[in-house]
Amino acid sequence: MKVYPILVRIGPLEIRTWGLFVMLGFIAGAYWAAREARRSGQSPSFIYDLTFYIILASIIGSRIFFVIEKWGEIFSRNPLKALAVWEGGLIFFGGVILAIPTAIYFIRKKGLNTWKVGDWIAPGFALGIAIGRIGCFFNGCCFGKPTDLPWGVIFSPESAAGAQFPGIPIHPTQLYESIGELIVFFVLLYLRGKKHREGFLLLTFAVLGSLVRFIDDFFRYYEPGAYVLGPLTFNQLISVAIALTAVFLMARRR
């Protein structure tokens, strides 16, 4: 498959497909959350301000984790390359780890209920991830292991996936996660119409979103050093920790 990491190039200006889809994901998530805020009588401008800080924290956190993970492989030889965020290379959970306290601080500073705002954000978060992973697919990053399944994808050699597995069909794990998060989005839409305690949608997203990532990682390609507990990756252990914490909070808030 031909990948298109650069969508448009005008002189020195480049619009990268990965960055475009990530931004579209943030826009979709913010739109949804603003819509929910408006339904609850809150000004959407609060959501747009919150989104700005979440984006900033997510990019910084996910980039820091990526640089740490790939330091010996990439960045030890060229540390300044760590600043080239536009080239891709972000770790999702790194962004989550920094975005959560940032969001909580901002919400509390505005005097709002954190759980209630979390319910506004949760479906949009799932939708945003689903859109963002499409950008990963076109970029040829976050790719899977070789497969004989009929939907295996052969990436062009200029992509990271094609360079690692030239001419070999691999799992389109980017699309697996995109589809999984889209399912989570619709599940949350269904639950949104039910009576539940504040925070239920947010915690449900934490459980289901973590489950999607946990399963997806079994098909995703990693260097041998990424496996920290038998066949489990660091990201899978974080997924388990997030899901168990969410289940504990659900039980505690009943």
Task: Check whether 180 has a pLDDT greater than 90.
Answer: yes
pLDDT at 134 over 90: yes
Percent of the chain whose predicted confidence (pLDDT) is above 70: 95
> The tokens 């603003």 sit on which residue?
34
List pLDDT tens digits, range 40-81. Answer: 888 888 899 998 998 889 888 888 877 877 776 677 777 777
Q: How far is CA 30 from CA 16, 53, 79, 120, 179, in A?
A: 21, 12, 33, 10, 20
pLDDT tens digit sequence for 6-44: 777 777 777 778 888 988 998 999 999 999 999 888 888
Average pLDDT for 141-160 = 93
Exposed/middle/buried for 223, CB within 10 Å: 0-12, 13-18, 19+? exposed
Neighbours of 197 (CB within 10 A): 11
Beta strands in the chain (DSSP E): 6-10, 13-16, 227-229, 232-233
CB distance 169 to 152 below 8 Å: yes
* Rounded CA separation 184/214 (Å): 14
State the pLDDT at residue 2: 67
Q: What is the mean pLDDT of residues 135-140?
A: 91
Query: pTM for this structure?
Result: 0.87
> 203-236: per-residue pLDDT in tens?
999 999 999 999 999 999 988 877 889 899 988 9
Q: Residue 88: what pLDDT?
A: 61
**Terminal Cα-to-Cα distance of the chain (whole angstroms):** 49
